[in-house]
Amino acid sequence: GRHSMLPRHVQRLGRDWITHWNGSQILALNSPVSSCMRWAGYYPPWASFPLPTSADFSANWRFPPFFGPWRQFQNSNWYLDNYTQSCCFHLPNPSMKSEGEEPLTKKRRLSGQDDTSAPEQEKNLSNQKEVSCLSVAQNEEKHGSKKGTIKRHWEYFCQQNKTMKIAKNKGSDQSSTGSEATFDFTVMSYNILSQNLLEDNSHLYKHCRQRLLFWTYRFPNILQEIKELDADVLCLQEVQEDHYRADIKSSLESLGYHCEYKMRTGRKPDGCAICFKTSKFSLISSNPVEFFRRDIPLLDRDNVGLVLLLRPRFHCKANAAICIANTHLLYNPRRGDIKLTQLAMLLAEIASVAPQKDGSFCPIIICGDFNSVPGSPLYRFIKEGKLNYEGLAIGKVSGQEQFPRGQRILSIPIWPKKLGISQNCVYEIKQQEKEENTGEKLETAKPDNTQEIVIASEKLSSKLRHHFKLSSVYSHYFPETGVPEVTTCHSRSAVTVDYIFYSAANDDAAAQPGAEDSFCGGLKLLGRLALLTEKDLWTVNGLPNENNSSDHLPLLAQFRLIER
């Protein structure tokens, strides 16, 4: 009969399976892994567990020479490409953590337990799987057998760029026209999916074939995408530290990039990287931002940001600069208070890096995975530069959940004063200096208004502001149909959480209404690589898939730096 307790009966596999099955149609214990080993409900009279039916498999399978105890069987894997949709159970993969509210590594940290290293036997097995998987990936690339590719097209906003591909136009229009000097460059934002996070959250990738999830398969695909898109600036999230040191940094340097990296704090093994082509930019300063603060209970998460100040090459103005910021905000949909505070810390760092000598800001680009959807309060705060959060529930800040569970109202103020960041999202010291200078001018002009200004500032205590006038590269909906664009797609959801925000010039036709030019010149959006719908992505089995090896799509835009 059917047994409900799988492990107890599979343990008997080594001693009970003594009869061959249909002669040549014998299963082989194999590697690499298939994450969805599916068994049909066929029960021979001598078997106490289900066996695959002969219709599910091709012939010429070998009978495994040895079936050891349960642990060894669990660490082994059945490689079955042509599995059936009818199934009784799935064999687990020990390299993946169990499904749950939080990754196991986070649970260990919160409970104060130390992580324990995997047994040497499991490490060796994992290495064998990855080597095997790499050979499969290389073989497929050699024979051009990859299929299921979705083509993404360029959308142009500049008339002269509509007649030619942006990739061919890069660097060809750096000359001065009239009173304007132009400098064209491209920026990519890409969450490449940390291998560690993939394995901690394996329930998000049940739709994927197992071999597609190994880093040795994924990295060549990711690198190929970067080569083909050929951006001048890369803003990467979920860059795992050991892979960065071993593979990513050297590969990108060979392509002409200089790399800056900031790993997450605590025990988190991934972080953010900004890489730029040395033929287009030189580095003025690199400024990492840690959102964890030991003395502030609110800021107990390990997310980080990175802010670079770059100087364009081949430009007529010697002091021209562009500020590039990259971040990956907290995921937790119920902690909008932490998300807003992390964002304020990033904006404060940008405000300290981007000012020019004349007091204006240089052009700014902010990339990243913000774990917030379009139209959410956090998104509107970035775009509009202000947010009145009085009475706002913390679970509604990011808009990730339709029926948010976090109903606690945001406190006023959200973060404590000792953080040193004002409600205007600047460091308090700079804010005080600015207020002192402004106060002197006001005192000279209108000495009787001082008390009114103080009272007004007290009334604005529940209002956040920032000084940047930002537009989004993407519009988040397809204008013809109103269908949402998607930047990430896995077993649980398909939404937009990745963005490229930029300070738009006055004559930028792609800028959203209200995006004024308060900067030294500004940026003009020339084009962008179109996003896809959820339906488009599921035609290639979602993300990751054969050709796209992250659960996020890369965002790509071309800008023109304009100075007057």
Q: Which among 10-24, 63-77, 97-111, 153-167 has the top mean pLDDT?
A: 153-167
Query: Given a cut of 80, is residue 198 above it in pLDDT?
Result: yes
Query: Given a cut of 90, is residue 19 above it in pLDDT?
Result: no
Closest CA to 317 of 180, 173, 163, 115: 180
Instruction: Provide the pLDDT for residue 148.
Output: 72
Instruction: Provide the pLDDT for residue 181.
Output: 60
Report how far residue 276's alpha carbon sits from residue 288's, in angstroms, rounded to the nearest whole number. Answer: 16
Place of tokens 């020479």: 65
At the topology level of CATH, where does 180-427+461-509+518-563 sit? Deoxyribonuclease I; Chain A (3.60.10)
Instruction: Provide the pLDDT for residue 434.
Output: 60
- Residue type present at position 542: G
Closest CA to 395 of 333, 330, 340, 341: 333
Q: Which among 25-29, 92-96, 251-255, 458-462 has the top mean pLDDT?
A: 251-255
Instruction: Provide the pLDDT for residue 563.
Output: 77
Instruction: Provide the pLDDT for residue 439.
Output: 55
Query: Given a cut of 60, is residue 414 above it in pLDDT?
Result: yes
Contact 488, 524 (CB under 8 A): no
Average pLDDT, the chain: 77
Instruction: Provide the pLDDT for residue 318.
Output: 73
Query: At 430, is the pLDDT very low, low, confident or very high (cuts 50, 70, 90)?
Result: low
Q: Which residues pair with 323 in a beta bridge?
A: 309, 364
Helix H or strand E encompassing 275: strand 270-277
Instruction: Provide the pLDDT for residue 540.
Output: 96
Query: At 12, is the pLDDT very low, low, confident or very high (cuts 50, 70, 90)?
Result: very low
Instruction: Provide the pLDDT for residue 246.
Output: 98
Query: At 115, is the pLDDT very low, low, confident or very high (cuts 50, 70, 90)?
Result: very low
* % of the chain at pLDDT higher than 70: 62
Instruction: Provide the pLDDT for residue 406.
Output: 66
Query: At 405, is the pLDDT very low, low, confident or very high (cuts 50, 70, 90)?
Result: confident
Instruction: Provide the pLDDT for residue 218.
Output: 98
136-145, 191-200, 323-332, 385-394: range with lowest mean pLDDT = 136-145
346-395: per-residue pLDDT in tens? 999 999 999 998 899 999 999 999 999 999 999 999 999 999 999 999 99
Of 437 and 251, more confident: 251
472-518: per-residue pLDDT in tens? 999 999 999 999 999 999 999 999 999 999 999 887 777 765 444 34
Of 166 and 560, more confident: 560
Using DSSP's 3-state secondary structure scheme, residue 183 falls into: strand
Query: Given a cut of 50, is residue 10 above it in pLDDT?
Result: no
Closest CA to 500 of 490, 513, 510: 510
List C-alpha distances in Å: 405 to 8, 29, 171, 339: 38, 45, 49, 16
Q: Cβ atoms within 10 A of the Cβ of 339, count?
A: 27
Instruction: Provide the pLDDT for residue 11.
Output: 44
Of 45 and 560, more confident: 560
Place of tokens 């959203």: 512
Q: Cβ atoms within 10 A of the Cβ of 457, count?
A: 12
287-338: per-residue pLDDT in tens? 999 999 999 999 999 999 999 999 999 866 778 999 999 999 999 999 999 9
* % of the chain at pLDDT higher than 90: 57
63-72, 119-128, 285-294: range with lowest mean pLDDT = 63-72
Closest CA to 516 of 467, 474, 465: 467
Query: Given a cut of 50, is residue 240 above it in pLDDT?
Result: yes
Instruction: Provide the pLDDT for residue 125.
Output: 45
Contact 503, 466 (CB under 8 A): no
Task: Return the beta strands (E) in 180-232 as ranges.
Answer: 180-191
Report how far residue 377's alpha carbon sits from residue 462's, in angstroms, rounded to the nearest whole number. Answer: 14
Instruction: Provide the pLDDT for residue 120.
Output: 47
Q: Contacts for 316-322 with beta carbons within 8 Å, 24 or more apart?
A: 316/176, 316/181, 317/181, 317/563, 319/356, 319/357, 320/183, 320/362, 320/561, 320/563, 321/284, 321/354, 321/356, 321/362, 322/281, 322/362, 322/363, 322/364, 322/365, 322/561
Instruction: Provide the pLDDT for residue 62.
Output: 43
Contact 95, 199 (CB under 8 A): yes
In the chain, where the domains are located: 180-427+461-509+518-563
432-464: per-residue pLDDT in tens? 666 566 555 545 444 444 444 444 444 548 999
- Which segments of 324-449 does DSSP mark as H helices, in order? 336-353, 377-384, 428-445
97-111, 229-243, 454-468, 507-521: range with lowest mean pLDDT = 97-111
